[in-house]
Amino acid sequence: MRGFVPPDPETSVSQTFYAVVYVPRRSRKRFAASCVEIMPTRESAIEKADTSNKHYAAIVFGPSKSSEGQYIYYLREWLT
């Protein structure tokens, strides 16, 4: 995936998570950590999603540190 920072093979810092993501446009593929709420299960992410308020359930990968020094998550898949 273009723009994707690969995980460090020697650590397990970045992982895949279920999450609710606040995003104004679903065309984005990466999100600031402040816009991502990690959820324990797929069902809880879907249940907490509120598409009318731009909160979408997703599978994300991260966190990763961007070149600007912010922690970000990458989109794997939209769930809603």
Nearest Cα to 78, choosing from 60, 52, 51?
60
Mean pLDDT of the chain: 88
Q: Which residue has the tokens 């679903």?
A: 26
Between residues 69 and 73, the one the model is more confident about: 73
Please tell me whether residue 35 adopts helix, strand or coil conformation: helix
Total domains in the fold of the chain: 1
pLDDT greater than 70 at residue 7: no
Between residues 15 and 66, the one the model is more confident about: 15
Contact present, 77 and 60 (Cβ < 8 Å): no
pTM (global) more than 0.75: yes
Distance CA 16, CA 20 (A): 13
With a CB cutoff of 8 Å and minimum separation 6, the contacts of 50 are none
1 belongs to a structural domain = no
pLDDT value at residue 67: 83
